[in-house]
């Protein structure tokens, strides 16, 4: 069980560092296709979600805490 907690902590650390390096997530939001005869027009909108640096820092610190807790011997 402790190994699982340590692994989860490492995943949190990696996710936090990735969020610091690339803070903007681009997700497709909506796609519309209009067809007139043989011609078609495709309109795609994207949603950009920005992750604050403070949240990334909190995730990294939480991951470090989980890793230490998971690797600690009792």
Ordered alpha helix ranges (H), the chain: 2-21, 53-71
pLDDT of residue 32: 83
Distance CA 44, CA 74 (A): 55
pLDDT of the chain, 74 residues: tens digit per residue: 788 999 999 999 999 999 999 999 888 888 888 888 888 888 888 899 999 999 999 999 999 999 999 988 76
Distance CA 10, CA 60 (A): 9
């Amino acid at each position: 069980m402790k190994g699982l907690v340590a692994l989860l902590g490492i995943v949190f650390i990696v996710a936090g560092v990735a969020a610091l390096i690339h803070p903007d997530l681009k997700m497709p939001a909506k796609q519309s296709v209009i067809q007139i005869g043989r011609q078609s027009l495709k309109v795609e909108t994207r949603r950009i979600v920005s992750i604050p640096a403070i949240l990334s820092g909190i995730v990294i610190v939480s991951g470090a805490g989980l890793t230490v807790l998971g690797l600690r011997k009792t």
